[in-house]
Amino acid sequence: MRSGPVDVPSEPTRRGGPVTDVRGERSSGEVAGDGPVLRAEGLRTHFQQGESVVRAVDGVSLEVHPGEIVAIVGESGSGKTATGMSLMRLINRRIIAHQEGRVTLRTRSGEEVDLLAASDRVVRHVRGGEIGMIFQDPMTSLNPVFTIGNQIVEGIREHRSASRHEAREVARDLLRSVGLGEVERLMRVFPHQLSGGMRQRAMIAMALAGRPRLLIADEPTTALDVTVQAQIVRLLQDLAAERGMGVVFITHDLALVSRIADRVCVMYAGQVVEAGAAAEVFARPRHPYTIALAGCIPYGPSGERLNTIPGKPPNLAGEFAGCRFAARCDYAVPACSEAPVALRAVEAGRSARCIRAEEIS
Ligand SMILES: Nc1ncnc2c1ncn2[C@@H]1O[C@H](COP(=O)(O)OP(=O)(O)OP(=O)(O)O)[C@@H](O)[C@H]1O
């Protein structure tokens, strides 16, 4: 593992020179050169659970470009959260039995940082700075004993050189940019004094404090009612577009994916089984699992699935001879259970992990 100052990405710069304006909220996503802001290649995270090894993330590859929303969707237990946590290197090393692959973040100044190999110091710098995170429960990020204003100001000062006065100005701007009014009053309130939707917005403002180029959002709207959910989704879309910020949106809600995402990775049993442009994947799925998942729409009022796919996902602590979905698949043939199935290109911009993908349209 590398270590030392050479590992720390240099001070964030915008195209054309160093950052001089601490506020500069609108151009956080700009970077020298092109290419994805995040690229994961062959990511594996296996957990040690007693004597067993749980293959929660088992060879995931994905890319997120500036301004793009990439959804990771799948049933409960498919490895979505473990993937998101692995991308941020947030999983406690003590419970990891095995990890491999590359997660490359392209920083604001155009440097590439291999997040799995980087020192803890670099990862701490990147997290909250280049990468922001939001979760289903805002209280995961918000501290109940500090005011909203204090927390955002601290987040800003951790990642930018700003005086307290300047940071308070930026905090007010951030609160406005996530659609909150009465910002003077909000700066002084504690998280529990806000409604669920407002807390979610405040958490998004917190996540933006370091001007991230990438936002990882894990089920950020699941606990909200439908109207507030729609507002938060709209907000994330606007932020992605205005800031050129890449977003990884983790959800079990396929209907939501078709509304918010540019591209989608459908996960099953720790692997991506289909990936492509969201609108096209749902209009013409090429993997039987995506078809089955799409058949589960619509969801009930609190997000619960009204239909379920018959059968159960496999135990991720077991061995897999062939396709992991074969036992539940309407299209399965004997060959599906004989050898592992690779994710492969099945048409331009679309990949699927199915030997019969060409027959499915
Ligand atoms: N700390 C852990 N130790 C052992 N196994 C774990 C751990 N965390 C998750 N797992 C297992 O890894 C697999 C993937 O879990 P993960 O939470 O990533 O799924 P998910 O798709 O996000 O599900 P959900 O939608 O319910 O959050 C599951 O089988 C889960 O039991």
- Listed by start position, the domains of the chain span 138-211
For residues 171 and 61, give the distance between their C-alpha atoms in angstroms, rounded to a whole number: 35
pLDDT of residue 2: 32
- Ligand 1 atom 31: the closest Cα is on which residue? 77
Does any ligand 1 atom lie closer than 6 A to the CB of residue 81? yes
Whether 76 shows a pLDDT value over 70: the answer reads yes
Does any ligand 1 atom lie closer than 6 A to the CB of residue 316? yes
For residues 234 and 232, give the distance between their C-alpha atoms in angstroms, rounded to a whole number: 5
Q: pLDDT tens-digit profile of 104-136? A: 999 988 999 999 999 999 998 898 889 999 988
Return the beta strands (E) in the chain as ranges: 13-14, 17-18, 38-49, 52-64, 69-73, 96-106, 112-114, 131-135, 214-218, 246-251, 263-268, 271-277, 344-347, 350-352
Distance 83 CA to ligand 1 centre (A): 9
Q: What integer best gives the mean pLDDT of the chain?
A: 86
Whether 228 shows a pLDDT value over 90: the answer reads no
pLDDT of residue 303: 54
Mutating to test ligand 1, I would choose from 44, 58, 81 the residue with most ligand atoms within 8 A of its C-beta, which is 81
| Strand 246-251 versus strand 69-73 pairing type | parallel
Distance 208 CA to ligand 1 centre (A): 27
Distance 252 CA to ligand 1 centre (A): 13
The burial of 158, by beta-carbon neighbours within 10 Å (0-12 exposed, 13-18 middle, 19 or more buried), is given as: middle
Distance 82 CA to ligand 1 centre (A): 6
pLDDT of residue 205: 92
| Residues 6+ positions from 15 with CB-CB distance below 8 Å | 30, 31, 32
Q: pLDDT tens-digit profile of 273-303? A: 999 999 999 889 999 999 998 876 555 555 5
Distance 29 CA to ligand 1 centre (A): 31
104 and 111 Cβ atoms separated by less than 8 Å: no
Does any ligand 1 atom lie closer than 6 A to the CB of residue 54? yes
Residue range 318-331: mean pLDDT, rounded: 92
Q: Which two tokens stand for residue 31?
A: 């970077």
Distance 132 CA to ligand 1 centre (A): 21
Instruction: State CA 326 to chain mean position distance.
Output: 28
Q: pLDDT tens-digit profile of 194-210? A: 998 899 999 999 999 99
Residue range 308-333: mean pLDDT, rounded: 91
Whether 16 shows a pLDDT value over 60: the answer reads no
Is ipTM beyond 0.85? yes
pLDDT of residue 116: 94
CA nearest to 205, candidates 167, 179, 226: 179
Does any ligand 1 atom lie closer than 6 A to the CB of residue 82? yes
Q: Is the model more confident about 81 or about 254?
A: 81
pLDDT band at 310 (very low <50, low <70, confident <90, very high): confident
